[in-house]
Copies of this chain bind each other. A is one copy, B any other.
C-alpha cells in the first residue's frame, strides 16, 4: 500500500523532544529525496509546555497540510486537550502511544483511530543515553517507509559535535524503534523517492521572506520583535551584517517604521517586519510614506486577532487593516505570498514594486507559512531587484512631486547636488511646498493612484490554474489546501479554476475580468471570521452572480477535504 504523502504528528510536553524529533524527521525525508513540510503547534508557555511537530512527507512538492494525520505519536499526553482540535485523525490513522503515559485522552480517542502501544520510554531505558523521542522516530520511519539510513545520516551530522557516544545512543534508539515497529499495524508507505539532480532547500517561510528581501535589494532594516515575525529579523540580522547592510532594533514600532522611512529617504531600500499589533502602530507613518512617496516594505506575519489575540496561531484577519487601515485616500501596495516558498519570491517582488512605485508595500504573510519549514526544489532566480527612478544633480528647480504621465517622479537622494527638497506628509505642490489648494490636492491624489493603477504587474498579480465554470478565489497560505483540493477535484473529473491573488492592492479589475471569463460560480476560501476577503472582492471586483464563501477563523487550518466537500456540492 503506497501513497504519495504521509502526515505525522509528534506530540509531548516540553522536554519530551517532539520538536527535535520532527525536525530530524523532516531533514531525513529530505536526505532520502522527499519533499516535506513541518508546522508546529505550541502552548502559551515560554519554555516547556505541550507542543506538537506536524510533519508531512511527500514524493511531490506540497504546500498544504493533509486532511488528517496518518500517524500520531504521543511521547506523553501532557495538556494535549488544549490543541487536540488541531490534530484531526481518521479511522485509518494510527495512534502510537506509550502505555506508561496512561489512557488516550477522549479528545484524541474520539476520532476512532487505530491504536498501537509501544513502550517508548522503557525501550529507551534499555539503551544508555538514549531518549524516547529517538525510539519513536525509528518507529515512525519504519511505519511510513522512510529509510532508516537517512535518519542515521542526519543524526550523524547533528550529533557530530556531541561526540561518538551521543550518536551511538541515538542511533541505537532509532534502530530499536524501527525494530519494534515491525509488530505494529501497517500504514500506507511512501513510495521510493524519485531521483533528482537539482538542489533541494530546507527553509522556513520566515527565512524565505528574509532571503527574498535581501535578494530584492533591502539594505536597511529597523524593527521591534514580535511573534511570529521575529524569526525574519533574527535571520536577517546576521545576514545583513555579513552582506554590508544594517539591522537596528528600535524602541517600538513607531520608531521602526519611521527609521525605515528615514533609511529609504536616504537612499537605501528599507524594510521592517511585524505582526498585527505592530502593524497597527505603524499605520500613521505608513500614511506618511504614501504622502511623501517614500518606498518601503512592511512584512506582516499575521496571527490570531483581534488585539493581542492568539500570538502563536495563524489567521488571515489582517487583510482589512493592510488594505484599508490608512486614514485619508492612501493608495499603496499589498502583496500576499501564497506558500512558504512564495514568501521568497513575493517579498522580493514587493521590494521591487515598492521601489519602482515609491510607495509602501505591505507583505501579508502568516504564522502558518512563516513558521512552517519546507523541503523544496531550489527556487528559480527572480529578475526583480530594487531599482528606483532617481533624479540627477539639478539646478535648484527640482520638482520632487512632478506630475508625470506614469505618476512616478524621479526621486533625489541626499547627496545629489542642486536637487535638494523637503519630503512632506502635508499635501503639497509639485515642488513639495505645503499647499491646501484643491487643485494641488487633486493633482497629487491622482498622481499617487495613477502610478499604482497604470503599472504593469504582468502575470504575478495572481496564480491562475486550470479552467472551468467554477473558480475558487483565495489568497495567502490558504492557497495550499485549495490547490490540493482542486487537484483532487480535477482527478475526479470536475473542471475548476484556481485564482490565488498575490497582488491584493491595487485591485486590477481588467485582469480579474479576464480571469473570470467563462466562470459562472465562485467559491471564496479564506481564514477569517468576518469574510474580509470576500467583502474585499465584492467591493473591488465584479463577480459572477453565484458566490459562495467558505471562511473560518484560525487557529484550525483549512484542510483540502473541507474545500472539496464544498466543491462537491456544486457537482
Contacts and interface: CB of A to CB of B under 8 A. Distances in A.
A68 to B, nearest CB: 15
Copies in the complex: 2
Contacts of A487: none
A441 B307 contact: no
A280 B291 contact: no
Given A318-B327, A321-B324, A309 B426 contact: yes
Contact of A437 (B83, B325, B424, B425): B83
15 contacts: A82-B436, A276-B328, A280-B287, A281-B283, A287-B307, A291-B307, A292-B307, A305-B329, A325-B326, A325-B327, A441-B553, A535-B540, A536-B539, A538-B538, A538-B539
A291 B305 CA distance: 9
B329 A441 contact: no
Interface string A436-465: 111101100110010000000000000000
Given A44-B434, A553-B445, A306 B281 contact: no
For chain A, the bracket of interface size reads 35 or more
Interface in A520-558: 528-530, 532, 535-536, 538-540, 552-556
A424 B309 CA distance: 9
Q: Is the interface of A mostly helix, strand, loop or mixed?
A: mixed
Nearest to A289: B307
Nearest to A292: B307
A317 interface: yes
- List of 8 A-B pairs having minimum Cβ-Cβ separation, nearest first: A305-B328, A306-B328, A539-B539, A307-B425, A276-B327, A280-B284, A291-B307, A306-B330
Contacts of A449: 529-530
A86 B438 contact: yes
Given A279-B327, A320-B326, A553-B445, A304 B528 contact: no
A262 to B, nearest CB: 15
A268 to B, nearest CB: 22
Most interface-central of A329, A330, A424, A555 (chain B CB within 10 A): A329
Contacts of A180: none
Contact of A436 (B310, B327, B331): B310
Interface string A283-325: 1100110111000000000001111111111010110110111
B327 A317 contact: yes
Nearest to A86: B438
Given A306-B328, A449-B529, 20 more contacts: A43-B436, A44-B436, A276-B287, A280-B326, A281-B284, A283-B325, A287-B307, A290-B307, A305-B328, A306-B329, A306-B330, A307-B425, A309-B426, A310-B436, A313-B436, A324-B325, A329-B528, A441-B553, A536-B539, A538-B539
